[in-house]
Structure 1
Amino acid sequence: MVGRTDDRLIVLAETDTVAVVRAAIAQGERVWIGGEEITLERAVTMGHKLARMRMKPGDKVLKYGVPIGSVTENIAVGAHVHLHNIKSDYTPTYALDAAGDVT
């Protein structure tokens, strides 16, 4: 993927479908991803991922050049990629309740 990518993002492998956030980025801020300027719909913290391309359910999410999971809903360029829209292909994904218990 060619084009300008924001310095606040790291692309670990050219084949990655996500970029890793280097520092927190607030909701409403603009970032460049693959030459496209995107306004973030939600805040994203350091270490989380933003989509480098459009993805649809069943697509593989690539990070470090390898698949880390599968897309569960449509994802737009620049969208936050996390447990709400992907699932691991290797380990179960769990959510914690308010008490910290696995549900």
Structure 2
Amino acid sequence: MIHFVVHDEHDSVGVVVVEGVKAGDELTGWIMDQDKTIKFKAANDIPIGHKLAIKPIRKGDTVIKYGVDIGRAVADIGVGEHAHVHNIKTKRW
């Protein structure tokens, strides 16, 4: 079962595609461009459609989703952690 999708292995986040991801769940992600899977544990509960970190993201780092810069991390985000508006902000304003 695929729990999250990633466009490219160089992205820093993936998108959860199933309901009910809970902290501690073993997750399988599909990296679409390379047609391979990755696995790790969810560090937090993550709602469907929200992002999770697939690599360590340091405060100040650019966050990449689907090959696009979606903002800057305002806190460190560990692998498997929920990545959303509480720890990522736009660079536009």
Shorter-chain TM-score tier: 0.7 to 0.9
Relative to the length of structure 1, the TM-score reads 0.71
Q: Which has the higher contact order (CA 8 A, sep 6+)?
A: 2
Task: Show structure 1 runs of 4+ deviating over 3 A.
Answer: 32-36
* 1:3 aligned partner: none
Percent same amino acid at aligned positions? 35
**Gap runs ≥5 in structure 1:** 1-5, 92-103
The number of residues matched between the two structures is: 85
Q: CA offsets per residue over residues 9-49 of structure 1, 9 Å max, x none? A: 101223210010001212332224674532x3432111100
Distance 1:30 1:78 in 2: 10
Distance 1:20 1:53 in 2: 13
Relative to the length of structure 2, the TM-score reads 0.78
Distance 1:36 1:29 in 2: 10
- RMSD over aligned CA atoms reads 1.9
Q: Which secondary structure state, in structure 2, belongs to the residue aligned with residue 75 of structure 1?
A: coil
More strand by share: 2
* 1:68 aligned partner: 70
